[in-house]
């Protein structure tokens, strides 16, 4: 625990952004992380060593009345605990001293704060000095009004033992609303409602993930996919890719504020291409807009594309740009991000082709090790004691941009807790948790078509992916500690596929992908031809 310092000099690492956990150290929120360099997801219970902060509620109402309005507060339970139920919280009259910072005895009004909740401005001295003056002058609690970002009101062990009244931070904008709504004679009750670790939005995350893997894997083996539209992954490419993953992750950790915008731009470009790729097979069946544009020398238009192609391109780019401009609108921007993300994942599953089960195994095992290393091992090397992946996923606490990496599917929590006033927490699933196992699902579907095996490999691997995702969710809820999702997804998908191959006595063909090379030379009329 750091020694007390003036609030104006408080360590910025103590601040907590709204998309992190509501209760650091006592509450866990799902942070499943994926960047172009970190194809994984992880459940993170972040523990801030310098200070522990929790979101709570301050219920203001007119004096003598119970009906009022909730406002978000940020408190530290080490000073004093707050009840979880509003009905069990004491309703006390406030003493508005927000014209003062309460840093010396001269700031204390005559008569003190008998049996009241004092409200003062933040600044000029430590939290301990403020709450000590409030306590010895009869206050039953302290609300510190802050014009800056809310941070945990911290102290040291001795100070925590001395103080027995709650202390919390309240935003200045909320104070203005409180003054307007309730005037001078008002009362407040402070409480900290609890939330379930597992939320119903997990069902939506599960359906989106499994659905994307199933659709992408099925489409990847379709006869509509031509060989020229795919990219075969070799062992050398896998090695280069993993090195790039490690390098980019470390660079993001070191230079997050500079690189995060580059990732946002890349996502906008890639997702618009993915959306076009997914919508074009449907648009080309529309009997309108088949006419071509006139001859011209414009870039990308010299081949005279069809009007409907240009219109679809404009639509996809417009959707991507709309998300880019309004990406921080928590109320609805997540819907666009999910739609673009699903389209991007399906496009990648159609485009990237692992030619053998051997290549699938190599990629998944290497990324399995990479995932575990950057979640469990890197905390021993970082100054903060946090894993590099956790820091990159949540956005470094000292980040000046407060931007989040977009390479995730996100769904807001669906429980209707008062704490939704404090932030809008999301459950996040990284693209890598879809793409990496999804490439194996796509290989299984191609092998099914080759062997005419009624898609048994495809179905088994898809079910294995779903089971692995369920195990991940259960582990997150039960263990309440960092869990790399590939720790569960890789064994479930690999072992399921391997078991089916052994049961059907097709392991040699499945391992080497032997029929695919022969298949490339078959004629289009051959029923076994899939490219």
Long-range contacts at 79-83 (CB < 8 A, ≥ 24 apart): 79/131, 79/153, 79/155, 79/160, 79/163, 79/165, 79/166, 79/167, 80/141, 80/163, 80/164, 80/165, 80/166, 80/167, 81/166, 81/192, 82/56, 82/166, 82/190, 82/191, 82/192, 83/191, 83/192
Q: How far is CA 428 from CA 89, 454, 485, in A?
A: 34, 34, 12
Residue 410: Cβ-neighbour burial (10 angstroms; 0-12, 13-18, 19+) = buried
DSSP designation for 68: E
Sign of the C-alpha dihedral computed for residues 493, 228, 451 and 454 taken in this order: positive
> Is 145 strand, coil or helix?
strand
**Contacts for 225 with CB less than 8 Å, ≥ 6 apart:** 219, 350, 531
In the chain, % helix, strand, coil (3-state, to 5) comes to: 50, 15, 40
Residue 192 phi/psi, 5-degree rounding, is: -130, 85
What single string gives the DSSP state of each residue in 188-204?
EEEE-----SS-THHHH
Q: Which residues pair with 146 in a beta bridge?
A: 171
Closest CA to 349 of 209, 235, 205: 209
* End-to-end CA separation in angstroms for the chain: 62
- State the catalytic residue, choosing from 371, 423, 448, 526: 371
* Cα atoms in the Cβ-side hemisphere of radius 13 Å centred on 193: 20
Tell me whether residue 199 is one of the annotated catalytic residues: no
Asked if 175 and 94 touch (Cβ cutoff 8 Å), the reply is: no
Q: 174, 199, 423, 433: which one is catalytic?
A: 433
Query: 């939704």: which residue's tokens?
Result: 420
Cα gap 390→384, rounded to integer Å: 11
| 177 in active site | no
φ and ψ of 378, to 5 deg: -60, -25
Active site positions, annotated: 371, 433
């Amino acid at each position: 625990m750091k020694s007390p310092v003036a609030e104006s000099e408080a360590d910025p690492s103590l601040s907590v952004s709204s998309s992190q956990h509501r209760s650091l150290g006592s509450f866990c929120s799902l942070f499943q992380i994926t960047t172009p360099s970190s194809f994984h997801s992880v459940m993170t219970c972040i523990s801030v060593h310098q200070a522990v902060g929790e979101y709570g509620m301050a219920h203001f109402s007119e004096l003598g009345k119970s009906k009022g309005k909730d406002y978000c507060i940020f408190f530290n339970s080490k000073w004093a605990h707050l009840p979880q139920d509003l009905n069990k919280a004491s309703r006390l009259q406030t003493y508005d001293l927000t014209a003062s910072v309460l840093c010396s005895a001269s700031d204390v009004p005559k008569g003190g704060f008998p049996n009241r909740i004092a409200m003062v401005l933040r600044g000029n001295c430590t939290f301990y000095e403020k709450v000590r003056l409030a306590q010895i002058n009869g206050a039953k609690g302290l609300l510190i009004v802050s014009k800056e970002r809310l941070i945990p009101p911290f102290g040291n062990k001795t100070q925590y033992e001395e103080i027995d009244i709650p202390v919390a931070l309240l935003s200045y904008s909320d104070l203005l609303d409180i003054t307007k709504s309730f005037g001078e004679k008002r009362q407040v009750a402070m409480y900290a409602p609890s939330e379930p670790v597992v939320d119903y939005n997990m069902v939506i995350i599960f359906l989106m993930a499994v659905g994307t893997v199933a659709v992408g894997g099925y489409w990847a083996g379709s006869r509509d996919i031509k060989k020229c539209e795919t990219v075969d992954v070799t062992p050398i490419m896998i090695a280069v890719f993993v090195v790039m993953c490690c390098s980019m992750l470390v660079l993001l950790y070191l230079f997050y504020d500079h690189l995060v915008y580059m990732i946002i731009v890349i996502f906008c470009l890639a997702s618009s291409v993915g959306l076009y790729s997914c919508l074009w097979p449907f648009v080309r069946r529309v009997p309108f807009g088949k006419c071509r544009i006139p001859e011209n020398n414009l870039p990308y238009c010299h081949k005279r594309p069809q009007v409907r192609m240009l219109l679809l391109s404009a639509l996809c780019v417009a959707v991507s740009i709309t998300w880019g401009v309004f990406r921080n609108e928590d109320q609805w921007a997540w819907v666009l991000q999910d739609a673009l993300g699903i389209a991007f994942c399906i496009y990648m599953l159609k485009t990237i082709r692992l030619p053998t089960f051997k290549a699938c195994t190599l990629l998944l095992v290497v990324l399995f090790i990479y995932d575990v290393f950057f979640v469990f091992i890197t905390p021993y090397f970082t100054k903060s004691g946090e894993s590099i992946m956790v820091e990159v996923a949540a956005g470094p606490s000292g980040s000046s941009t407060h931007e989040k990496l977009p390479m995730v599917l996100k769904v807001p929590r669906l429980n209707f807790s008062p704490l939704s006033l404090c932030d809008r927490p999301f459950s996040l699933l990284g693209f890598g948790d879809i793409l990496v196992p999804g490439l194996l699902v796509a290989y299984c579907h191609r092998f099914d078509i080759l062997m005419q095996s009624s898609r048994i490999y495809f179905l088994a691997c898809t079910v294995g992916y779903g089971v692995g995702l369920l195990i991940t969710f259960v582990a997150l809820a039960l263990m309440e500690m960092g869990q790399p999702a590939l720790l569960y997804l890789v064994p479930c998908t690999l072992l399921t596929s391997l078991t089916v191959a052994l049961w059907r006595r097709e392991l040699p063909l499945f391992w080497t992908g032997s029929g695919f090379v022969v298949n490339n030379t078959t004629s289009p009329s051959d029923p076994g031809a899939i490219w």
